[in-house]
Chains A and B, each alone.
Chain A
């Protein structure tokens, strides 16, 4: 007797029941605290919702308002893409390069160097330091030095000039981008087996670059994909840096990002419907970038 499609599926499910059982505890929490809120937020994005009153269904009005009438949102999208285009690739390559160099160091020193590079992403409050460094008046360290050595005559308004804010935000975001992806690279490189390198050295690998391209990179594809997801989510979610550095909103919206815009509607104006629509748009931007990057990464080591 030929089995139907459903019987085959049921058979597969039964054969793998131990795996479903293993996944069950996590999935219960996951659905409750991660999937359900996202679905709810997607629903809110089609409503007018001020948190206190019941959401009012308005169809696509939130999206239409954002895309057609909200100049600041368009500015925010532009800024976000500029930031992501710099911070994403730079942070990613820098993370890998540093992780790769750390692997050449003896274990203990390597660990300390790992922490040095990781700390900026850990130190949430470290922004105070940049405020002191780039303070507008001559008390700022950077202005202080530039004045002392005669590069400038009067202090530069680093944190008020709309021309200098965005570059500063980018630099600080790159500086903070050696985070989780970086840690996965450090651990992933250690997982590459030594005898592969030995075999490659005998087979005629001449220098460290060939070794990197033909052995190291293909062996850590899972970590490379993970790092890519992390840098996409990180670089498109930049927002806190500008907040902490120049306050909200940034002067003439110079460093206003999608996340800043979202927080403006969600936390200040309490228009959750609009904020949810922004979150959904950001979500799709990230998914598309992720698909593009994954395609690119498949070429590694070939």
Chain B
């Protein structure tokens, strides 16, 4: 590792590099980001505001953006409904969490083993498989749903967690994402490990995965999101195997939808949105050690 001869400022940027940043430029960029950020955050803000509004404020004219008499009634109503479900709420929660955990961990393990050879080596068939993986992202899911349903039912997976978890293993998005980051691992590092006598398995867990942590953390978030919002549609029929998303959807829709349940719907939407968002925050704040900061250099 090269010795760092430059002094760093608070953000870890060298003094030499600071000359490339003008003050005016920083201000313009900051304002741009802030204005744009508000536009992006506004609907989310609106969603939380709505969840806190009492019913009479929700249907007020002229409409008000911000809540005046904030109340947690909507959430209390929601919890009251959740407390009275036929299958206990904890069961739905367990189903969701189990599917999310098994699906995402399984996918990252299986996909990272496939992504690494494709990213770093050329061998007969490697180009073809890479192309296949990219192109598979471009085929519409509606028309593949029927063949997939037939496969899943023939495998006897209907009405089991497997119907949701196992197809997730074949998801190419996370794999392709990891592949792109693995391409940037310096060859010299892998060579050195091989000379030291490390086998592929050891290289995978001690070099490859730690170096592409930002990639697989992101892949985890993507899988988390898609599995969390999965309702199990045509694959799960037993009520005690259904997910939180399904149950929340049931509360908010059906014959009960209308003005009376609008508050509950707003609260349910807010909660269903908050859980992946918080997971994202927790995961991302853990990704500090990237290739750039972990001192690994070619």
List B contacts of A226 (CB < 8 A).
176-177, 180
Interface string of B276-298 (1 = CB under 8 A from A): 11001100110110111100010
List B contacts of A168 (CB < 8 A).
none
A122 to chain B, nearest CB (A): 6
List B contacts of A223 (CB < 8 A).
180-181
Interface string of B29-57 (1 = CB under 8 A from A): 10011001101110110110010000000
Question: Does the CB pair A33–B281 fall under 8 Å?
Answer: no
Interface assignment of A35: CB less than 8 Å from any CB of chain B: yes
Segment of A75-83, A84-92, A178-186 engaged in the interface with chain B: A178-186
Segment of B59-67, B76-84, B86-94, B236-244 engaged in the interface with chain A: B59-67
Question: Does the CB pair A187–B124 fall under 8 Å?
Answer: no
Chain B's closest residue to A259 (CB) is B140
A103 to chain B, nearest CB (A): 10
List B contacts of A237 (CB < 8 A).
140
List B contacts of A233 (CB < 8 A).
137-138
Bound together, the chains give a CA A41 to CA B140 distance in angstroms of 10
Question: Does the CB pair B40–A116 fall under 8 Å?
Answer: yes
Q: Which of A1-56 contact B (CB under 8 A)?
A: 9, 12-13, 15-16, 18-20, 22-23, 25-27, 29-30, 32-38, 40-41, 44, 51
Query: Which of A32, A108, A118, A286 has the largest number of chain B CB atoms within 10 A?
Result: A32
List A contacts of B276 (CB < 8 A).
122
Interface assignment of B166: CB less than 8 Å from any CB of chain A: yes
Question: Does the CB pair A23–B136 fall under 8 Å?
Answer: no
For the A-B complex, the count of residue pairs with Cβ-Cβ distances under 8 Å equals 277
Q: Which of B163-209 contact A (CB under 8 A)?
A: 166-167, 169-170, 172-173, 175-177, 180-181, 183-184, 200
Interface assignment of B129: CB less than 8 Å from any CB of chain A: yes
Q: Which of B123-144 contact A (CB under 8 A)?
A: 123-124, 126, 129, 132-140, 142-144
With A126-B44, A148-B62, A180-B222 known as contacts, the answer to whether A22 contacts B117 (CB < 8 A) is yes
Interface assignment of A104: CB less than 8 Å from any CB of chain B: yes
Interface assignment of B273: CB less than 8 Å from any CB of chain A: yes
Bound together, the chains give a CA A26 to CA B171 distance in angstroms of 9
B194 to chain A, nearest CB (A): 11
With A16-B123, A112-B281, A267-B142 known as contacts, the answer to whether A32 contacts B151 (CB < 8 A) is yes
List A contacts of B166 (CB < 8 A).
29, 33
Question: Does the CB pair A37–B144 fall under 8 Å?
Answer: yes
List A contacts of B26 (CB < 8 A).
104
List A contacts of B27 (CB < 8 A).
none
Interface string of A175-195 (1 = CB under 8 A from B): 100101001100110111111
A113 CB contact (under 8 Å) in B33, B138, B181, B218: B33
List A contacts of B144 (CB < 8 A).
34, 37-38, 40-41
B289 to chain A, nearest CB (A): 10
Interface string of A87-131 (1 = CB under 8 A from B): 000000000001001101011100111111111101111101110
List A contacts of B229 (CB < 8 A).
124
How would you classify the secondary structure of chain A's contact residues: helix, strand, loop or mixed?
helix
List B contacts of A253 (CB < 8 A).
none
B170 CB contact (under 8 Å) in A30, A120, A180, A197: A30
Interface assignment of A160: CB less than 8 Å from any CB of chain B: no
How would you classify the secondary structure of chain B's contact residues: helix, strand, loop or mixed?
helix
Interface assignment of B12: CB less than 8 Å from any CB of chain A: yes
Chain B's closest residue to A236 (CB) is B138
List B contacts of A229 (CB < 8 A).
134, 137-138, 176
Question: Does the CB pair B180–A184 fall under 8 Å?
Answer: yes
B144 to chain A, nearest CB (A): 4
Interface assignment of A243: CB less than 8 Å from any CB of chain B: no
Q: How many residues of A contact B (CB 8 A)?
A: 106
Question: Does the CB pair B142–A222 fall under 8 Å?
Answer: no
List B contacts of A130 (CB < 8 A).
43
A16 CB contact (under 8 Å) in B111, B121, B146: B121
Chain A's closest residue to B46 (CB) is A129
List A contacts of B132 (CB < 8 A).
30, 35
B61 to chain A, nearest CB (A): 6
With A104-B29, A190-B290 known as contacts, the answer to whether A22 contacts B136 (CB < 8 A) is no
Bound together, the chains give a CA A126 to CA B111 distance in angstroms of 31
Question: Does the CB pair A287–B121 fall under 8 Å?
Answer: no
B273 CB contact (under 8 Å) in A123, A184, A195: A123
List B contacts of A211 (CB < 8 A).
20
Chain A's closest residue to B5 (CB) is A198
Question: Does the CB pair A33–B61 fall under 8 Å?
Answer: no
Question: Does the CB pair B177–A184 fall under 8 Å?
Answer: yes
A27 CB contact (under 8 Å) in B114, B280, B290: B114
Interface assignment of A206: CB less than 8 Å from any CB of chain B: yes
Given contact pairs A25-B114, A266-B142, a sample of 16 additional A-B residue pairs in the complex whose CB atoms are under 8 Å apart:
A22-B114, A33-B170, A35-B136, A38-B139, A116-B44, A124-B229, A125-B273, A129-B43, A138-B61, A147-B62, A191-B181, A191-B290, A223-B181, A259-B140, A276-B143, A279-B140
| 9 tightest A-B CB contacts, nearest first | A37-B144, A26-B114, A19-B117, A33-B170, A222-B180, A187-B214, A16-B123, A29-B170, A37-B147
10 of the cross-chain contacts (CB-CB < 8 Å) are A27-B114, A36-B151, A38-B144, A104-B21, A129-B46, A132-B46, A191-B214, A207-B25, A222-B180, A286-B138
